[in-house]
Amino acid sequence: MKSNEEWRKQLSPEEFRVAREKGTEPPFTGRYWNNHEEGMYRCVCCGAPLFRSQEKFESGSGWPSFTAPAEEANIQTERDTSHSMERVEVQCSQCGAHLGHVFPDGPRPAGLRYCINSASLKFEPIANSQ
């Protein structure tokens, strides 16, 4: 596992704050909340494939929202009781990066909304994601 110093060298200050320190970017400010290109959203830290554009939907929340991960094995969830709320945090299972949260208010059939910070993601357009 990398040290915080190594992560700081690899990531921008905002990416480090969100992915390594469990921060949250303000709504409607991230680079991917309004991205409609086809491709794969990968972990900004380790490159693991996390979400596909086919599962992205407009939630109105201001963050990229997905109905399901690209591969269940590449994410893990953990109970989050910070900020006087009870939520389910989503992390990259490969490197432990904080991605965002999952909520039970998404579209059918699964009914899940993976609300993910753009700063935790690196988008790879479809031409390059094969």
Write out the catalytic residue numbers. Answer: 115
Q: How far apart are CA 99 and CA 118, in angstroms?
A: 8
The b/e string for 74-102 (b: 16+ C-beta within 10 A; e otherwise) is: bbeeeeeeeeeeebebbbbbbbebbbbbb
